[in-house]
Structure 1
Amino acid sequence: MDVPALVPNDPRVEHKFLSVGNFTYHYLLAKPEGERKDVVILIHGWPDLGMGWRYQVPYLVSLGFEVIVPDMLGYGQTSAPESPEEYSVKNVISHVAAIIRSRSDQPVILGGHDWGAAIVWATAKYYPKLVKAAFAFCVPYYPPPPQIISHEKLVELYPLLRYQLTNRDGAVEAAIGDSKEKLKAFINGMFEGLTPEGEPIFEPECGIRADRLPRIGQSPLLDEAIIDFYVQEHSRHGLSYPCNWYRNQERNSIDELAFAKDHPTFKFNIPAMIVMAGNDRFLPPSLADGMENYFTAGLKKEVLDSAHFTLFEKPQESNRCIKEFLESVLGEELQLRA
C-alpha cells in the first residue's frame, strides 16, 4: 500500500516550535490514530530540510508511530546563529536531546540521512538513555581516530570528501548570493538535475560548479511545488548557515578524541541499521565495511540501487528497510492502519 507523501502545508502534520537554550527549533509533528507504538525522530542532512522525509512520515504514521521531524540548526524556520561553533556535532546533539525530552519520557527511535546520520550516531553515543534504536542512510558510524584530524587530513584520507573544503570556505554561498533564480537552479542540481550535456552541479573533487548553474535542468526527484518550497525555506537564512556544519571538523575531532579517551572500548548496545546507496558518488557502500564490529546488539546492513538521496529516489525501498528494521526492534509484524 502506497501512502501519499507530504506536501507543503500538509494537514496531516502540525508545525511546532521549541525553545532550546537561545535557539528556536521548528519541527513537524505527525500523530497516529489511536495509541502510538513508539516515537520516531528523523534528522535531515545537507542541503535538505525536514521535508526530505516526506515519503517516510505518512508511512510511519500509518504503522502507528508518532513522528517528529525538525528543521536542523540553520535551516528553514529553525534559528540560524552566526557563529560556526554553534553547529558543532556536540552542540547539535544536545539540541536533539532536548527535543527528545520534550516529546517523550521513554527512549525513542532515531533515524538520519547524510549529516542527520552523523547526528543519529553521535546522539546514541552521548545520550544512550534517550535512544532505543537507530537507523541511518548513507553515512556509517566511524570510531574516533586516535588523534585530531584536520579537514585537510580528512580529505587526504577520503578524497571523495574534497567538496567539504569548498563548502567550508564559502563557495556555495558565493555562487548563489541573494539570487532566487540561482538558488532554484542549485536545488534542482543538488537533487539530480543535470545540464543538457549530462553534467551535475556538484562534484566530489571540487564541490559546486557555479558555471553550470544557468544550464541546470529540472530535478527528476522533486516536483515544482517541492522545489518552490525548498527555495522558500532556504531563502529565510541563505545557504551560509547550513554550510556552517562544515566549519567544525577540528572541533568535532577534538570532542570525539575526548570521548574516546574516556570510553576506549565503546560499542553501541542498541539495535541499529545502516542503509547505503549503491550509486552514491560521494559515499560508496564500502565505507560501511566493518561497522558491525561496533554494535553489540546487531547491525542490519542494506544497499539500495540509488544515488545519495535515496529517501525520495527509492521511497518504497527505503520504507521497506525501515519497516523491517522496526519490526526487528519491536518484535512484531507491523501492519498499515486503515
Structure 2
Amino acid sequence: MDPTRPESFNHRFEKLSTGRTYHFVDQLPSNHDTSLNQAIVCIHGFPDCWYGWRYQIGPWVRQGYRVIVPDTLGYGDTDKPSSAEKYSMKSLCADIAALLDKAGLEKAIIVGHDWGSHMVGRFALYYPNRVLALAMLSVPYIPPSPVYLPLEEVARKSPNLGYQLFFGSQQSTKIIEANLRGFMDVIFQQTDSKGVAADFTRKGAMDALLNNSHVRSSGSYYHQVLSKGMNGPLNYYRTSKFRHDEEKADGLPSNLRADLPVLFLWGTKDRTATPALIRKSSKFITRLQDIAIENKGHWIMAEAKDEVTAHIAEWLKGLGYPNIRGKL
C-alpha cells in the first residue's frame, strides 16, 4: 500500500443489493479474522474519491483493522446515475448498508469527511445498529430540519456556504468540466505556512476564482478520476429538497444514538467548519469528543495526515479497539 501508487491497493468491483455497482478498496490486515478484526469504512466528500484516505489506509490496516473505502455514487468507477434524485442521503445510506452486507459485516466503525461526514451522520440515523463508532471530519453533524430551507436562504444565513449556490446550479457541470484543472487548483488548495488559503466559499467567489485560475494542478490521479464526469459529484448539491422530504417522511430523530461514541476532527482554518455549527452539533450527540487541528484547512487527511491517522487510532484504542469481541 503505497500512497503514491493507487494501483498498489486492493481494488474491488461489486454489484450491491441496491442494484448499483461500486468500486471500493478493501484492505485486509494480516491473519484477518472476520469475527475478531473490526472494519473501518471511510466515506469521502466532494470532489474526492477513495484516494483521499490513502495516508490512513495502510497505518490502520497495520494496526489490525480491515479498511474499506468506496468511491461513492457518481465518482470514479462507481455507477453514475444522471438524476439528482438518485443521490439523496437515504439512497446513499442504503448503498453503505449494502456495501457492509457485501463485505460480510454486520457492524463497522464508520468515518466520513466533508459530504462523507454528513452521509455517515445520516447513516447513523437510518442504520443506528450497524455503527460501532462514528468519526466525522471537517463538517459537523447537522440534525434533520423540520423546515425546508432553499439553498438561497442557506447562503444568506451562512455566507460561508455561498459556494453551494454555484455547485447546485445545472450550469456548473459544464463550466467545471471545461476548466477541470483550474477547478482542482481552487478546490484542493491547502493552507500555506501562515494557515491561509484563498476563500472560495462566499457567493460568486468560486466563479471568479475559476475565471482567474492560472496554476495548473499536478494531481494526475484526481484529474483521471474527476474527468470521468462532474455531474454525479455535483448532484450531491442538488438534493436538498429530496433529502428534506425523505427525512421528514421517515421521521428521522435529531439525536444520534445515546451510547454511540462520536469523534469530530476539524482544521481551525477550515471556513466550512464554524465554531457555531460545532457548538450546535454537540447538543445532539451524547458521547462527543471534539479535536481541533491548529492552522490546517479542509483537506486534513492530507494536510495533517499523521495527526488524523493518530487521533482516530488513539480514540478507537480508548474504546477498546481493535481486536475486541461484542459490543462496546
Find the residue that maps to 2:309 and give its secondary structure: helix
Which of the residues 205, 217, 235 maps onto 1:244? Answer: 235
Change beyond 3 A, Cα 1:193–1:310: closer
Percent of paired sites with the same residue: 29
Find the residue that maps to 2:51 and give its secondary structure: helix
Which of the residues 305, 320, 325 maps onto 1:330? Answer: 320
Partner residue, 1:158: 158
After superposition, where does 1:179-194 map in structure 2 within 5 Å?
A: 179=178, 182-192=179-189
Matched, 1:280 2:270: yes
Change beyond 3 A, Cα 1:16–1:288: same
Change beyond 3 A, Cα 1:146–1:215: closer
Q: Distance in 2 between matches of 1:266 and 1:201?
A: 32
Q: Distance in 1 between matches of 2:12 and 2:129?
A: 24
Displacement, 1:330? 2.0
Q: Distance in 2 between matches of 1:4 and 1:190?
A: 24
Q: Distance in 1 between matches of 2:240 and 2:200?
A: 21
So what's the TM-score if we normalise by structure 1? 0.85
Q: Distance in 1 between matches of 2:116 and 2:254?
A: 25
Displacement, 1:254? 1.8
Please tell me the residue identity of whatever aligns with 1:173.
T
Partner residue, 1:103: 103
Partner residue, 2:173: 173
CA-atom RMSD in angstroms: 2.5
Change beyond 3 A, Cα 1:193–1:65: closer
Displacement, 1:18? 1.7
Which of the residues 288, 310, 318 maps onto 1:299? Answer: 288
Q: Distance in 1 between matches of 2:57 and 2:63?
A: 10
Q: Distance in 1 between matches of 2:59 and 2:85?
A: 36
Contact conserved, 2:144 with 2:253, CA < 8 A, in 1? no
Which string of whole-angstrom CA distances, capped at 9 and with x for unpartnered residues, describes residues 64-104 of structure 1? 10101000111000011011100011111100110011113
**Gap runs ≥5 in structure 1:** none
Find the residue that maps to 1:68 and give its secondary structure: strand
Q: Give the length in aligned residue pairs.
A: 315
Displacement, 1:24? 0.9
- Greater length-normalized contact order (CA 8 Å, ≥ 6 residues apart): 2
Change beyond 3 A, Cα 1:283–1:266: closer
Which string of whole-angstrom CA distances, capped at 9 and with x for unpartnered residues, describes residues 229-288 of structure 1? 11111112x11221000111111112222344x647764431110112200122224311
**Gap runs ≥5 in structure 2:** none
Contact conserved, 1:278 with 1:285, CA < 8 A, in 2? no
So what's the TM-score if we normalise by structure 2? 0.87
After superposition, where does 1:1-338 map in structure 2 within 5 Å?
A: 5=3, 7-10=5-8, 13-20=9-16, 21-35=18-32, 37-177=37-177, 179=178, 182-192=179-189, 200=198, 202-209=200-207, 212=210, 215-217=213-215, 224=218, 227-236=219-228, 238-260=229-251, 263=253, 267-296=257-286, 298-305=287-294, 306-330=296-320
